Amino acid sequence: MKYSIDISSDDIQDILLEEKINFNNFNNTQPSYGFNLDNHIGKIGFKEELLSGLILSNFESRFTNNTKLSGYSLTPIFSMHFMLNGSVNYETPSFNRPVDGGQNNIWSLTEGELGCSRYKKDISCSSWSVSFEESFLKKLVNAYPDLLNDPYLRHINGETFCLNKNYMPSNCEMNLIISQIGNAKFMGNICHLYTEAKVMELLALQLQQHENKEADIPCLCCLNKSELDKIYEAKDILISDINSPPTILDLSRNIGMNEKKLQNGFKEVFNQTVYGCLFDHKMNLARQLILDTDKTIFEVALDCGYEYASHFTTAFKRKYGLTPKQFKKIL
């Protein structure tokens, strides 16, 4: 996968910020590639990793002024794209739309397609994507033609498109899988196999989301922008103190939304109940603590809001199919 990017500020009054910085011919000839930029334009971190036909990419940025990244693809790209934080506007001759943190889509970029991304100043943004090498993508299409044949034909015919007209909300399950893929390096020799399996799981969730949208499955509460912001605020409040989480009544009062709307909103946005989201957050935190720290199971249990290690062990096994001790042994 190769592409070229120019970075420049939209503030033409500042001569320094008119400077363009060129990054040409990023490629996957090595297992991993990355760079970091920190100057008057702002901060950028980019990392790309090749794993058995899959290209995993992370991009983080924070610019000192409104900034435009202009570029074009030197090879066709078929990618699962997840905006994790911040907000950016993607523009090509084929589509022009804002994307916010917590949203996802599947997109195809044709070779030589011109486009740009616009970032607002002083906003931290991060995105994560998985791109498929052509040989891997073709095998995948042959295995699941009913699901992938139509977008694949559009892709090989040189069309630039997003599978969903509008970006879709990423649910807790998707976010958990992205976190699991990020920690796969700790799994030793099975890292690549585990990563591929998780990518397939993530792709299945995206395709299911697309099918639900195509089938016009109605939203549970038809949230507007203000209500959507309140749902995300409610989730932040919910997971901010997992030792003493608020009741649904308290949570609804805190954000100014009635209980039924709040509960339906969680199902619509996160495909989870309120406490289902809290449970997934606890289990994701538990997994990270087991992977990244030397804490005992009892200490992890306390950090995850469980007073008794036995209750934590039961919950962890329900989520992952292994007890925390069994999980720790396979690392």
102-111 pLDDT, tens digit per residue, is 899 999 988 8
Distance of alpha carbon 152 from alpha carbon 164, whole angstroms: 14
236-277 pLDDT, tens digit per residue, is 999 999 999 999 999 999 999 999 989 988 887 887 899 999
Give the other-Cβ count within 10 Å of 82's Cβ: 24
Residue 112 has pLDDT above 60, yes or no: yes
Distance of alpha carbon 317 from alpha carbon 171, whole angstroms: 21
Quote the mean pLDDT of the chain.
84
* 199-205-206-207 Cα dihedral, nearest 10 degrees: 110
The pTM of this model reads 0.64
Q: Are 83 and 162 in contact (CB under 8 A)?
A: no
Q: Are 99 and 92 in contact (CB under 8 A)?
A: no
Residue 222 has pLDDT above 80, yes or no: no
Q: How confident is the model at residue 331 (pLDDT cuts 50, 70, 90)?
A: low
Name the residue with tokens 């003493």.
244
Distance of alpha carbon 303 from alpha carbon 307, whole angstroms: 9
Query: What is the reported pLDDT for 104?
Result: 94
Give the neighbor-by-neighbor strand order of the sheet with 3-9: 21-23, 3-9, 67-73, 114-119, 87-91, 96-100
**Paired sense of beta strands 67-73 and 96-100, if any:** unpaired
For the chain, which domains are there? 3-169 (2.60.120.10), 225-329 (1.10.10.60)
181-218 pLDDT, tens digit per residue, is 988 887 788 888 999 999 999 999 999 888 877 655 44
Q: Are 219 and 268 in contact (CB under 8 A)?
A: yes
Query: What is the reported pLDDT for 6?
Result: 62
Query: What is the reported pLDDT for 296?
Result: 93
Q: How confident is the model at residue 292 (pLDDT cuts 50, 70, 90)?
A: confident
Q: How confident is the model at residue 223 (pLDDT cuts 50, 70, 90)?
A: low
85-101 pLDDT, tens digit per residue, is 899 998 888 788 889 88
Length of the chain: 331
Give the other-Cβ count within 10 Å of 228's Cβ: 16
Q: Are 268 and 223 in contact (CB under 8 A)?
A: yes
CA 259 to the chain's CA centroid: 28
